[in-house]
Structure 1
Amino acid sequence: MSNMIARIALLVTMSAMLTACNLRPLYAGGTTGVVAQKLGDIEIEPIAGKAGWLTRNALKDQLEAFGGQQTKYRLTVTLDDKIAGFGVRSDDRITRERRTLRARYQLVRLADSVVVLDATAGSDAGIDVVSSEYATLAAEDTALENLATRVANQIVTRISRFAREEANASPDP
C-alpha cells in the first residue's frame, strides 16, 4: 500500500515539474487550435513518381484531417529515391539493399509568395535480397510505402512546429 502511495506522489510531483517547465502539447486546442488551423490551410502540389504519389497521399491523409477553410500555404516537395546494394557474397551477388528516400520541401505563403519554411526530411530501410525476384520487388515496394509515410510524418511534424513557433511569435490581438 505504501508503494502505491509513493508512486502516486511521484506522479503528482512529475506532473507539477512538467507544468513548471512550460511544456505544452503541440496540437493544443484540437481542431480549433492554431497549429491545426494552419495545417488545414495547406495545399500540396503534385509530386513526381511513385514515391511522390505515395508521399503526397500520406501528407494529404494527415493534413486534410484538419479540414482548413481556405488555402493560405502551398507545400512543394522534391524527392530523391535511391536503392543501393551492399552485403555482397563471394560470387558478387548482392544480399542486402538500402532504400533511401530524401525530401526537400518548401512551405510558401500564398499571400506574398514568401518561402516561410525550407527544410529536408528523410529515412532509409534495409531490404533482404532473396532468390525470388518477385519477393525482392515486393519488399522494395513495401519499403517505399513505409518510407513515404515516415517522410510525410517528419514533414507534418516540422510544419506543426513552425506553425506553433509562428503563433507564439505573433502578438495576440
Structure 2
Amino acid sequence: MGRLMCDLGVAARVVQDNRILLVQEARGRYSGCWGLPKGHVESGESPEQAVLRELDEETNHKGVVIGLAAVRTALKRDDPAVFLCYDVASTTSSVMDQSDEISAAGWYSITELNQLNWVSETMQQLAIDGLSQRKTMEATNGLTVRDTPYAVYRTNRNLAANQGATL
C-alpha cells in the first residue's frame, strides 16, 4: 500500500449551558469571520491531540475529546482533504480574548448564530447541530493490540438530553 498525502484539519465543538464556543479569525482570507476553534494536525500528533492543542492555542481552554461529531471530505489541489469535527468537553472556565490568529472568542446561543459572519456554511451548520440535535460517535480504544494508541469511532449516541448540562 502506497502513502498518500492528505490535508487533515480538526475543529473543536464545545457546548456548555446551551451555548457554543466560537472564535473570530484575526487574519487571512477569513479575517472577521466566525467558526469553531480549528487547525491542522501536525506531524507526530493524533487528530485528537491536535484538536485539543488548537482549542488551547485559540481560546486558552483545556478539554477532553468525548466523540467525533462530523467528517467533511473534499479535494484540495487534487489531493484529499479531510476535516474532523470533535465534540469536546471543556475543563476550563475562562476564554482568552484574542491572539495573533484570533481577534475574539466567546459563547453564543442558537438565537445569536444567524447574526454572525461565518467562515463557511459547514461551520455554521456544525454549530447549529451542536446546539439543537447534538449527536456524537464515541471512541472505543484498544480493539486491537498495538504499540501506539488509537481510537475507533462508532455507534451514534444522542447527547441532546445533556445539552443544558456542562459536558
- Please give the TM-score of this superposition, normalised by the length of structure 2: 0.21
Higher strand proportion (structure 1 or 2): 2
Higher helix proportion (structure 1 or 2): 1
Q: Quick check: which has more Rg, 1 or 2?
A: 1
Structure of greater relative contact order (alpha carbons < 8 Å, 6+ residues apart) = 2
